[in-house]
């Protein structure tokens, strides 16, 4: 049997509730998010076969992994935190906590040996800066790491990776379901937590490496037939051109945000310092706090310095 990678999007966090909450740094799961984890724990049928637990070092992904795969954790499996699996934007909610804080919070349940000081640096010189080319390269690095893991573990390896809605599209090369709209949804039937991604909270899909000989330099993943059938039935997959168009739409949002932020800085005549353009808030929403549902995919950049360098860049297909 070929090794299987289960990719999972995290449960609902407070940053998913409204745009204002995107200013919360490394936010908690909501009560609904915790319930989503409990539901996933009940419906996931392969707890006894999981050989490795991996998660982005963000708190919401670690907690999703701990709660959703509690039987695996209780069996003694330690969660490995993988920085390359962190989310793609510069929003405060997508800036992780320092390793010392994570160590104090999670103790020996999480292996932080791959999480160095500065892993949460998303400045332009960092590998985690959300330029589309860097995101493609980072996703490849994550796949290569996963491939090394399963190659060493053998054919029985079954790995869970809990990560984020944006980077999942880069990891899989599949943009099906991604919505490039930047406007709030008009219908209340639309899942607000899915704006900017084609993955629902706590959705899981199963993948294998496309090249069973492990010689593919990109370590490309392919969704298993059973996983694809369960979520899409007999729907025809997107063509390569359609996939590229959706990836290009994502990149266009990034460029638009660069331009908008630069123009705002110029009009105010107060160019921001290098780094994130928003204040990073540490506190979480109060219990019972009323919030407005007004999500859209937003990326904050260093406009004065970065627009000229990135505005003309055209991303290549993954």
What's the CATH code of the domain at 121?
Answer: 3.40.50.1240
Tell me the helix, strand and coil percentages in the chain, rounded to 5.
40, 10, 45
Residue 300 lies in a domain: no
pLDDT of residue 269: 60
Q: Is residue 208 part of a domain?
A: yes
* Residue 80 domain-assigned (yes or no): yes
Whether residue 132 lies inside any domain: the answer is yes
3-state secondary structure of 211: coil
pLDDT of residue 220: 97
Domain count of the fold of the chain? 1
What whole-number distance in Å separates Cα of residue 67 and Cα of residue 44?
12
- Asked if residue 44 lies in contact with residue 36, where contact means CB atoms within 8 angstroms, the answer is no
pLDDT value of residue 315: 41
Domain membership flag for residue 282: no
Burial, 62: exposed, middle or buried (Cβ in 10 Å; 0-12, 13-18, 19+)?
buried
Q: Is residue 159 a part of any domain in this protein?
A: yes
Q: What angle do CA 123, 129, 134 make, to 5 degrees?
A: 145
Instruction: Say how far apart CA 246 and CA 8 lie, in whole Å.
Output: 21
**Residue 200 structural domain:** 4-232
Q: What's the pLDDT score for residue 318?
A: 39
Residue-level pLDDT at 227: 95
Q: Which residues neighbour 316 within 8 Å (Cβ) at sequence distance 6 or greater?
A: 133, 136
Residue 97, token pair as written in the block = 């906590």
- Residue 243 belongs to a domain: no
- Regions of the chain with pLDDT less than 70: 181-195, 254-255, 257-262, 264-265, 269-318
Q: What pLDDT is recorded for position 196? A: 75
pLDDT tens profile 193-235:
556 789 999 999 999 999 999 999 999 999 999 999 998 888 8
**pTM (two decimals):** 0.81
Examine residue 270 and state whether it is found in any structural domain, yes or no. no
């Amino acid at each position: 049997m070929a090794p299987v990678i289960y990719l999972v999007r995290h449960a609902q966090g407070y940053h998913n509730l409204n745009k204002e909450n995107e200013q919360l740094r490394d936010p908690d799961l909501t009560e609904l998010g915790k319930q989503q984890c409990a539901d996933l724990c009940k419906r996931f049928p392969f707890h006894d076969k999981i050989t490795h637990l991996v998660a982005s070092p963000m708190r919401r992904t670690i907690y999703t992994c701990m709660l959703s795969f509690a039987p695996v954790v209780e069996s003694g499996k330690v969660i490995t935190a993988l920085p390359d699996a962190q989310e793609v934007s510069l929003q405060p909610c997508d800036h992780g906590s320092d390793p010392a804080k994570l160590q104090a919070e999670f103790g020996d349940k999480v292996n932080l040996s791959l999480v160095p000081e500065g892993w949460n640096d998303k400045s332009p010189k960092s590998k985690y800066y959300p330029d589309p080319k860097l995101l493609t390269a980072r996703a490849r690095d994550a796949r290569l790491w996963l491939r090394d893991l399963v190659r060493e573990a053998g054919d029985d390896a079954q790995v869970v990776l809990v990560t984020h809605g944006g980077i999942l599209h880069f990891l899989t090369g599949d943009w099906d379901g991604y919505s490039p709209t930047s406007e709030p949804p008009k219908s209340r039937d639309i899942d607000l937590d899915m704006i900017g991604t084609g993955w629902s909270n706590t959705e899981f899909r199963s993948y294998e490496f496309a090249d069973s000989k492990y010689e593919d330099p990109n370590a490309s993943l392919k969704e298993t037939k059973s996983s694809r059938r369960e979520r899409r039935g007999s729907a025809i997959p997107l063509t390569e051109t359609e996939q590229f168009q959706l990836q290009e739409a994502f990149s266009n949002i990034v460029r638009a945000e660069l331009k908008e932020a630069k123009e705002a800085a110029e009009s105010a005549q107060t160019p921001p310092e290098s780094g994130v353009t928003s204040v990073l808030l540490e506190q979480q929403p109060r219990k019972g706090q009323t919030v407005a549902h007004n999500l859209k995919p937003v990326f904050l950049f260093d406009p004065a310095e970065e627009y000229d360098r990135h505005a003309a860049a055209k991303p290549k297909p993954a």
